[in-house]
Amino acid sequence: MEDRFIRCNQVEELTGQSRSTIYRKIANDEFPKPIKTSARASRWRLSEINAWMESLPRL
């Protein structure tokens, strides 16, 4: 699968996490950090989000 950068709203949609939860987990080193792609934009690597979701325990 080809890796690509995704926006926060796409991360929210993929993970089911709210924006505030995502940033709280980032602050607690529990979620992948975004990459600054410009002065005003941050993006996440889709592969890192997928890896994070795969690492979650199954219920």
pLDDT tens-digit readout, 1-47 = 579 999 999 999 999 999 999 999 999 999 999 999 999 999 999 99
Integer angstrom CA distances of residue 4 from 7, 14, 48: 10, 14, 10
Domain count, the chain: 1
pLDDT recorded at residue 59: 85
Tokens of 54: 């795969």
**DSSP H stretches of helix in 2-44:** 8-15, 19-27
With 0-12 / 13-18 / 19 or more C-beta atoms within 10 angstroms meaning exposed / middle / buried, residue 21 is middle
Residue 44's domain comprises: 5-55
pLDDT recorded at residue 2: 79
pLDDT recorded at residue 1: 58
Rounded Cα distance between 14 and 17, Å, is: 8
